[in-house]
Structure 1
Amino acid sequence: MNKEYIEFKRERDLGSIISDAFKFIRLEGKQFFLTILKVAAIPIVVAVASMIYYMMSMSSLISQETSAVVRMMGSMFIMMIAYLVAFVFINLAGMYYIKSYIDNKGIVNQEEIKENTKNKFWSFVGFGILAYLILIASVLLCFFPVFYTMTAVSLGASILVFENEGGASAIGRCFNFISGHFWETFGVIIVVGLLVGVLGSVFQIPAVIYQFAKMGISMGNDDPTMMMNIYSDPIYLLLYVLSLVGNFLFYSITLITNVFLYFDINEQKNQTGTIEKIDSLGQ
Structure 2
Amino acid sequence: MNKEYIEFKKERDLGSIISDAFKFIRLEGKEFFLTILKVAAIPILIAVAAMIYYMMSMSSIISEDINGAIGMFGAAMIMLVAYLIAYVFINLAGMYYIKSYIDNKGKINKDEIITNTKNKFWSFTGFGFLAGLLVFISVLLCFFPVIYTATVLSLGASILVFENETSSGAISRSFNFISGHFWETFGIMFVVGLLVGVLGYVFQIPAIIYQFAKMGISMGSDDPSAIFNIYSDPIYLFLNFVAIVGNFLFYSITLVTNVFIYFDINEQKNLTGTIEKIDSLGQ
Q: Which SS does the other structure have where 2:143 is aligned?
A: coil
Partner of 1:187: 187
CA contact (8 A) 2:63 2:69 kept: no
Deviations 1:171-213 (A, max 9, x none): 0000100000000000001000000000000000000000000
Does residue 166 (structure 1) correspond to residue 147 (structure 2)? The answer is: no
Matches within 5 A, 1:185-264: 185-264=185-264
Q: Which SS does the other structure have where 1:5 is aligned?
A: coil
Identity of aligned residues (%): 77
Q: How much does 1:63 deviate?
A: 2.5
Amino acid in the other structure paired with 1:226: A
Separation in 2 of the partners of 1:64 and 1:29?
49
Which is further off, 47-56 or 63-72?
A: 63-72
Amino acid in the other structure paired with 2:275: I
TM (norm. structure 1) is 0.99
Partner of 2:277: 277
Moved over 4 A (4+): none
TM (norm. structure 2) is 0.99
Separation in 2 of the partners of 1:134 and 1:45?
29
Separation in 2 of the partners of 1:100 and 1:12?
21
Q: Which SS does the other structure have where 2:222 is aligned?
A: coil
Amino acid in the other structure paired with 1:22: F
Q: How much does 1:115 deviate?
A: 0.2
Alignment gaps of 5+ in structure 2 = none
Partner of 2:267: 267
Does residue 40 (structure 1) correspond to residue 40 (structure 2)? The answer is: yes
Matches within 5 A, 1:1-283: 1-283=1-283
Separation in 2 of the partners of 1:167 and 1:113?
19
Q: How much does 1:62 deviate?
A: 2.5
Amino acid in the other structure paired with 2:277: K
CA contact (8 A) 1:59 1:230 kept: no
Q: How much does 1:170 deviate?
A: 0.3
Amino acid in the other structure paired with 1:94: G
Q: How much does 1:263 deviate?
A: 0.3
Separation in 2 of the partners of 1:14 and 1:59?
47
Q: How much does 1:222 deviate?
A: 1.6
Deviations 1:28-63 (A, max 9, x none): 000000000000011011110011000000123333
Amino acid in the other structure paired with 2:198: V
Deviations 1:202-252 (A, max 9, x none): 000000000000001111112111111111110000000000001111000
Q: How much does 1:116 deviate?
A: 0.2
Separation in 2 of the partners of 1:61 and 1:155?
39
Amino acid in the other structure paired with 1:217: I
Amino acid in the other structure paired with 1:211: Q
CA contact (8 A) 1:218 1:227 kept: yes
Amino acid in the other structure paired with 2:160: L
Q: How much does 1:2 deviate?
A: 2.2
Separation in 1 of the partners of 2:92 and 2:64?
41
CA contact (8 A) 2:100 2:113 kept: yes
Separation in 2 of the partners of 1:21 and 1:246?
17
Amino acid in the other structure paired with 2:24: F
